[in-house]
Structure 1
């Protein structure tokens, strides 16, 4: 690893090329560039997650840390490494001070892998309007995490208001295991019956303020065409915010899936003994890696977000964003003519 103090973007590009030549590394088979935007307090978590994701998906990792935007003198410190602690590929950690932090794209753009998609991930508070961050404008896919907000449900609505195809949220990814169990359980009932199963109602017990629980309710509601609400549970529901799911089926039958908080869930369904399936807690890197498996718009997520927030027409929006200049010192947002467009 090489550390460059008070450097420039050009010097970072040159150092990356030099390390590639010295180490005999050849940039081939890179699936994408992962741009991570993290607060200094969360850098260690972001690095660990990005390292895991880079092992699953060959990519160039660029971590952007905006520090002391109010500093009078702009400065850039960088760490450049190939095959180091941030995974087997190429990685750059950029710490930006002063006004440079407001123009992070000027340093990041030359570091993107050629002809490869770009995924931007905010590990921390994302802007209410992602277009105010130029790193979101040129990204093909954008990952946020509403669970990190002070009010996750309010953050979900902000994400819905700002949504364009290509956006996703790790609170949605945390519901993957629950969605898989629910789908397989309903399919099992349909297989036993020999015909389709209609869901007429139900509820989710857990934390009503948890964004994952709300998105899971939105997903079930959008799929079955009936209202599924999140009601308060009786114990800690964990990161997913879901303690149990009850689905009311036609023919007077019910299906219940209950988390046992020992890494599993108990499935109760008609005319069969209770069964247990795995429902392990997932690490941040595993969640990020799942989102990097696809680069197309996640329509089930947009459907769930629509239903959970009551905002419609998300999938019909244009996938393009135009950069909107935002200066924290001024406290307003002013569109810039001729700005970046995704």
Structure 2
């Protein structure tokens, strides 16, 4: 690890190039650039998750921790400062990382440091590991990305944040709450794979404030053309899905890392349903860099916001963000 204190963006670029040259083939073959916006206290967790994801998707990891200040504030406490750490190979495996800690007005212009660090000729993914932004178009780190990952479970009001994701949606957006119901969707699709009878009713049992419950119900609604019933669970978790398939009842019930599949006239089956690590969830989202149409359909059904897939995939800075950029002058 190479630490640079009170440095400049140009110096970070130069030192990264030197570290990559020293590492030789270890730092070659990058599949993408992953930009992560995160609080300082959670940087190590991001590194651990990226290390797991990089086993399948070698990437350049750029971690951005921003100490935002009031752009109109004056005084000695507004200090423009950039600290950085560079890690190539080593404990991060096939991943090279630059951790950037920005203070003062520089925090409002994080893209001025990040852009020269993007790996050439590979896609850019931005992940907010924390409370997601109200509008991605207000954050230049989201505008530069082909794929944008949020996590509404980190918000103070996850359901309100989920609706905001629908209001702000553009093709290329996704959310880790959606990723976390992949095992449920896989089991449900498999259970219905051999059935020819229509599904006439569905019930999702879980904590009603859990965005996973809303998205799973939205996915069922978008795929089956019905309105699922939401039922509060006694455990506070996403606990059960019940379907009426023709004249049969099909139920998936979660229990201690497994799921019990029961169906009228068929013997019960126990299937795996484990809680995955954050790095495994991240790796799933890095497998595709195009628009996730099933997510858009589920998000639309869950929130009632329509026309998501018809929106433009290319984002630009909103007028609000442009005004903010114009009012903040970064010291040379």
Mean Cα deviation higher: 50-59 or 10-19: 50-59
Deviation at 1:314, TM superposition (A): 0.1
How many residues align? The count is: 320
Q: How does 1:223-262 map to 2 (within 5 A)?
A: 223-237=223-237, 242-250=238-246, 252-260=247-255, 262=256
Q: Write out per-residue CA displacement over residues 229-258 of structure 1, whole angstroms, 9 at most, x where no aligned residue.
A: 321012231xxxx110001112x2110000
Q: Could you tell me how far apart the structure 2 residues matched to 1:5 and 1:326 are?
A: 32
Match of 2:9 in 1: 9
Match of 1:163 in 2: 169
- Structure 1 residues 322 and 158, CA gap change in structure 2 (3 angstroms): same
Q: Which of residues 141, 145, 149 in structure 2 aligns to 1:139? A: 145
Deviation at 1:117, TM superposition (A): 0.2
- Contact kept, 8 Å, 1:54 with 1:61, in 2: the verdict is no
- Contact kept, 8 Å, 1:302 with 1:315, in 2: the verdict is yes
Deviation at 1:88, TM superposition (A): 2.6
Match of 1:117 in 2: 123
Q: Could you tell me how far apart the structure 1 residues matched to 2:323 and 2:134 are?
A: 14
Structure 2, unaligned runs of 5 or more: 71-76, 327-332
Q: Could you tell me how far apart the structure 2 residues matched to 1:199 and 1:180 are?
A: 17
Q: Could you tell me how far apart the structure 1 residues matched to 2:184 and 2:266 are?
A: 20
Computed over aligned residues only, the root mean square deviation of the Cα atoms, in angstroms, reads 1.6
Match of 1:198 in 2: 198
Structure 1, unaligned runs of 5 or more: 191-195, 328-332, 338-342
Deviation at 1:325, TM superposition (A): 6.0
Deviation at 1:26, TM superposition (A): 6.2
- Contact kept, 8 Å, 1:324 with 1:336, in 2: the verdict is no
1:127 correspondence with 2:122: no
Deviation at 1:21, TM superposition (A): 1.8
Q: Could you tell me how far apart the structure 2 residues matched to 1:123 and 1:171 are?
A: 12
Q: How does 1:188-337 map to 2 (within 5 A)?
A: 188=194, 190=195, 196-237=196-237, 242-250=238-246, 252-260=247-255, 262-324=256-318, 326=320, 334=323
Match of 2:40 in 1: 40
